[in-house]
Amino acid sequence: MSATGMNRREFIKKTAATGLVLAGTATLAGCGLGSGGESIKWSEEADIVIIGSGFAGLAAALEATEAGAKVKIIEKMPTPGGNSIINGGDMAAAGSKMQAEMGIEDSPELMLEDMLKAGLYLNHPEKVKLVAERSVEALEWVMNYVGTKFVTVNYHGGHSVPRTHQAETGSGGDIVRPMLDKLKEKGIEVETNRKMVRLIQNEEGRVIGVEVLDKYKFGQEDSGTPVFIKAKKAVILAAGGFSQDLQMRMIHDPKLTDKLDSTNHLGATGEVLRAAMKIGAMDVQLDWIQLGPWASPDEKGFGYVPHFCERLVGYAPMINPKTGKRFINETGNRKVRADAILEIGEPVIHVADEYAARKQVIPSSFEGGLRNGSIKQFDTLEQVAEHYNIPLQPFLEEIQRWNSIVEKGQDDDFGCMIFPDAKPMTTGPFYAARLWPKVHHCMGGLVTNTQCQVINQDFEPIKGLYAAGEITGGVHGAVRLGGCAVTDCIVNGRIAGQEAAKEEAWS
């Protein structure tokens, strides 16, 4: 190989640097078709190896275990749960008993329509249909099988009706933790500090296992020891999105520089998604990366303000501090709102009175925001204007106008949905938070069929490879609606687990 100017040692160094480690006695088949003479020294095995321990991975693990498969769950971070455990615990389902009890008329057809409309019809029709149709079944599985308690039905922008079922403490942990407990009962613990670096295929292209760095420490990319885990039936990829993967997200959307914070946990990077593409998996719509419009520049990461402000929409107005006026439908979808805020070029102000602020079902986010200073309390609207440097007269007039809109129950200015129990804002105290978008969710990802098999560049399933949750694309199209991530993960995680368990073992 002297012609290429790279000797064997340099080659090994180079491939190691790219995550393609040629380790010890294991000579690896390349992606696609190897020549057949290779052997891997497996040190562990399972029927199904699941990468990632959020909603989708855990749902897959539970279903696969119920079907009698031996499962391993691999998690690169020191603790399980991924983004799911810091998620807002809102699960969209259309036509639930809880909605009916609250007098909310809804249907899977309406949810499908909402998801397609927000998704700019880029959604893969059969995938989004499945999520809408099975949303209630998934909710009931989380309630009855997992044991999560849901306390009310919330509204998120872009939905036609209140549809997101809020878990008890308003956290995805309310779903993740009992899932982990259930798995523990079955003798399965998430294997943390283990990072998948490569999918291994046999000469036919069937996925037969993974290479993992054992005792990996997140952020220390030279840490960990290579271990080869045989997956007798399948590998399920449930490793989430890449909102924290600066290099990757800036290729797909160069606007998303390091100037933008992310709501995601630090482990939300794209190496597992890219490992699948290295073996020829097809990706779709990776450039649709959602900004959360309800995030605060006055706290790090997800924080408290998103919960607080998402409960205010339909009850309280968002104000452009340059003009003192409203500027967007507060109940519009995330993209509409985030784009409008970015267009203004500085954080906007969500302002509410005590009544609207107390619409919070979960007081912790309100209190947490007050505590860390991202939500502020004021006695008068004049003080609000002074603090945020809002021109006073236009602002006071706009609040008057908002109050008349609330009284009429209809917003002819921006088409905001006004909830029936909304009230005019008249007396203090008032509460306000600044909003500036943060990178929140990757709509795009691997192409999968309705069995959650990963599709290759020949439009065919890659044998032995499944994926579910944020690592996949197609369900949400251009824009994901609030509460639909949990539903996507539970519906497709369960399917992936069930279908993978049906695979015939290859050895």
Which chain residues interact with a copy of itself by CB under 8 A?
A: 1, 3-6, 11, 15, 18-20, 27-35, 37-38, 121-125, 202-204, 206, 247, 251-255, 274-275, 277-280, 282-288, 444, 447, 456-460, 463, 504-507
Active site residue 334: yes
Q: Please state the closest distance from residue 287 (CB atom) to a copy of itself, in A.
A: 5
End-to-end, the C-alpha distance of the chain in Å comes to 36
Q: Please state the closest distance from residue 291 (CB atom) to a copy of itself, in A.
A: 13
DSSP letter for 144, please: I
Q: Could you give the CA distance from residue 159 to residue 138 in angstroms, rounded to a whole number?
A: 18
Q: Is 79 or 457 the residue whose CB approaches a copy of itself more closely? A: 457
CA nearest neighbour of 194 among 41, 57, 85: 57
Q: Please state the closest distance from residue 225 (CB atom) to a copy of itself, in A.
A: 21
CA-derived radius of gyration, the chain:
24
Residue 254 φ/ψ region, left for φ over 0, alpha for ψ in the -120 to 50 degree band, beta for the rest: alpha
Q: Please state the closest distance from residue 46 (CB atom) to a copy of itself, in A.
A: 16
CA distances from 453 to 282, 370, 459 (A): 11, 46, 11
Q: For tokens 């409309």, name the residue.
A: 117
Q: Is 20 or 110 the residue whose CB approaches a copy of itself more closely? A: 20
Q: Is 250 or 392 the residue whose CB approaches a copy of itself more closely? A: 250
Q: Could you give the CA distance from residue 21 to residue 224 in angstroms, rounded to a whole number?
A: 12
Residue partners of 235: CB distance under 8 A and separation at least 6: 48, 49, 50, 51, 199, 207, 209, 210, 464, 465, 466
Residue partners of 492: CB distance under 8 A and separation at least 6: 56, 130, 131, 448, 452, 468, 469, 472, 475
Q: Please state the closest distance from residue 321 (CB atom) to a copy of itself, in A.
A: 24
Q: Please state the closest distance from residue 34 (CB atom) to a copy of itself, in A.
A: 5
Residue 218: what residue type? Answer: F
Q: Is 433 or 447 the residue whose CB approaches a copy of itself more closely? A: 447
Q: Is 421 or 459 the residue whose CB approaches a copy of itself more closely? A: 459
Exactly one of 134, 198, 334, 480 is catalytic; name it. Answer: 334
Q: Is 199 or 238 the residue whose CB approaches a copy of itself more closely? A: 199
- Residues taking part in catalysis: 334
